[in-house]
Chains A and B, each alone.
Chain A
Amino acid sequence: MNSIVCIKRVPDSETRVRIASDGLAVDRSGVKFDMNEYDKYALEEAIRRKEEAGEGLVTVLTVGGDDARETLRQALAMGADEAVLLRAETGFDGLPVAVALAEEIRDRPFDLLLFGKQAIDDDGMQVPAMVAELLGLPAATVVVSLEIEAGRAVARREVEGGHETVEFDLPGIVAAQKGLNEPRYPSLKGIMAAKKKPLEEKDVTLVEGGLELLELSGPPDRPEPQILGEGAEAVPELVRRLREEVKVL
């Protein structure tokens, strides 16, 4: 079972992100970065499939800057066998990244191509489906469970209000949702071994995307809390506000 896992280096989910002075980028200074959480489910799935099969290769792939090496080594420490860094300056547009990944993946043999369902930085949710289209492969996104037998995959996906089960032939694409598995910690031996695993780097030129970033803005400030009164006397006004202003009743 050979898998390719596409991962992304993103700000840690607890980092407070600041917008840079030009209003078009995130200020990276003092920000702690980590592997995108959903990518960890994807990677864990690939490692487990390989362990269960007793053979195979797990390749991790990312498009990013020099600092993305650290994230690739994190993946190698968890148990991936080899890593590839496609060095390029990335933005908020998913298409150029998807094209670069598809170009790299096209000539590689694999059974499963895994992604996290989305990256928690720009929440684009575009790349897995775009790569599927570019490679002409079946794709199941937001996957919470996966079964593979004799070259055929059955994936259970989360959809609005319920679940959907889909079936497809391998090779195919799976975009992982939380719940697919419980990602492992990289062991100390894994961290030591990661140094000795191959990490290939190549410069790539990204194609023009279709999106133009106009502005980044932070969430609105929370409004000052209001005290409507005390005890039962406040209830009519509270109900009126909930109905007319918040519109939840």
Chain B
Amino acid sequence: MSFAGVDFYDVDGLLSEEERAVRDMVREWVESELMPVINEHYTTHSFPKQLIPQMGELGFYGANLPEEYGCAGLNNVAYGLIMQELERGDSGLRSFASVQGALVMYPIFAFGSEEQRKRWLPLLATGEKIGCFGLTEPDFGSNPGGMLTRAVKDGDEWVLNGAKMWITNGSMADVAVIWAKTGDIDDSRSIRGFIVETDRDGFSAKDQEGKLSLLASDTSELVLQDVRVPDANLLPKSGGLKSPLMCLTQARYGIAWGAIGAAMACFTEARDYALNRVQFAGKPIAATQIQQTRLADMLTEITKAQLLALQLGRLKDAGTFNSDQVSMAKRNNVDMACECAREARRLLGGNGILVEYQSMRHMANLESVYTYEGTHDIHGLILGHAITGLPAYE
């Protein structure tokens, strides 16, 4: 039985025919192309690279960017639905698409010159070139403004030095968007973005070893040692910490949708398992009160998350959304998905620890999603700041 989604409140009725067509296509693609191979990739710790060209052909990368750059030109709700369906398959696949679209294509679109846009966006849209985003450093995660990576002007070139950590797509990327300070090390206003081809001298990437989450995803550490790029590789409209944070707002928006997909997968698996698993007096465990309230909680939280994401998407399409609203959706929806995955895994009993069921894979993945792109706690502080006007980060 293929995945049919979860829609208790007729949220489908709030979508346009086109948005539903996009969702249905990606859903079918995930069912036919990703689901048969994901367990193999997860257990062998490999990204399903063979899917990259087809995802590009179908238009999954940067799908909400304009057609003139080879992108699909979708609205943000349709874009969110793509993320939802990809993460229904696996958070690693959604992460790949998020990074490519929101963290590499978006900054080139938003801060790049027309020449940079025309050169890179079509290649990234088809997946001919793969990108990564270098902001986080070993010692600067939640506080990226403290970064130590520097870019120093030398004639017509910039010389970059520093290290970046937790970089999705890092080892397989052809191009990296690297954020570095161009001025004083205490001056986060001097942060600029650079397009760095990964075959330049002094650039190296190393797989992050020892992960227990996002196993079907490439996570790497980048080292930049006297990497020289021409001045033409500077993103001219980038300036200050605000620029990379704008990229994160785009990616977090996609995550708020993606988490719903993972939660739907877990809920569907838990419900089907509960209906088929017979214990005690010949009855399925779905007939017990504890599993029913478990499922009721999951369904309720998924439904709330759907409405949160959809309204956020409508606001984004109207151009009136703000990053605090994105923080609320990312924080709520990922936390919701973590809970659903954990409860689904528990409902599945001993079988729940096996890879042939999805819930524990999602549960392990979602711990990363909970942590990256602004941790749950940091988004709490962003909301606290929005509520009180008082920043509590320091």
Contact = CB atoms under 8 A, between A and B. Distances in A.
A171 interface: no
A74 B21 contact: yes
A70 B74 contact: no
B1 interface: yes
A14 B2 contact: yes
Interface in A188-247: 188-189, 191-192, 194-195
Interface residues of A, number: 15
Of B1, B57, B58, B74, most buried by chain A (CB within 10 Å of CB) is B58
B18 A185 contact: no
B25 interface: yes
Nearest to A74: B21
A186 B21 contact: yes
A70 B17 contact: yes
B1 A187 contact: no
Interface string B1-44: 11010000000000001100110010011000000000000000
Contacts of B59: 187-189
Contacts of A77: 21
B21 A191 contact: yes
A189 B59 CA distance: 7
A49 interface: no
A188 B17 contact: no
Nearest to A34: B24
Contacts of A87: none
Contacts of A194: 21
Contacts of B73: 189, 192
B317 interface: no
A74 B28 CA distance: 14
B124 interface: no
B101 to A, nearest CB: 12
Contacts of B72: 187-189, 191-192
A73 interface: yes
A185 B28 CA distance: 8
A64 to B, nearest CB: 16
B154 interface: no
A187 B58 contact: yes
Contacts of A192: 18, 67, 72-74
A40 B63 CA distance: 25
Contacts of B29: 185
B89 to A, nearest CB: 15
Given A14-B1, A70-B17, A188 B22 contact: yes
B60 interface: yes
Nearest to A195: B18
Contact of B21 (A14, A32, A73, A189): A73
Given A70-B17, A73-B17, A191 B2 contact: no
Contacts of B82: 188
Given A14-B1, A14-B2, A192-B73, A185 B25 contact: yes
B53 to A, nearest CB: 13
Contact of A188 (B2, B4, B28, B74): B74
A187 B18 contact: no
B55 to A, nearest CB: 10
A83 to B, nearest CB: 14
A14 B27 CA distance: 14
A173 B332 CA distance: 56
A77 B59 CA distance: 13
A188 B60 contact: yes
A189 B1 contact: no
Contact of B18 (A32, A189, A191): A191
B177 to A, nearest CB: 23
A186 B78 CA distance: 14
Interface in B54-69: 57-60, 63, 67
B271 to A, nearest CB: 16
Given A73-B17, A74-B21, A195-B18, A188 B1 contact: no
Contacts of B21: 70, 73-74, 77, 186, 191, 194
Contacts of A187: 57-59, 72
Interface of A: 14, 32, 70, 73-74, 77, 185-189, 191-192, 194-195
Interface of B: 1-2, 4, 17-18, 21-22, 25, 28-29, 57-60, 63, 67, 72-74, 78, 82
11 contacts: A32-B4, A185-B28, A186-B25, A188-B22, A188-B60, A188-B78, A189-B59, A189-B72, A191-B21, A192-B18, A192-B73
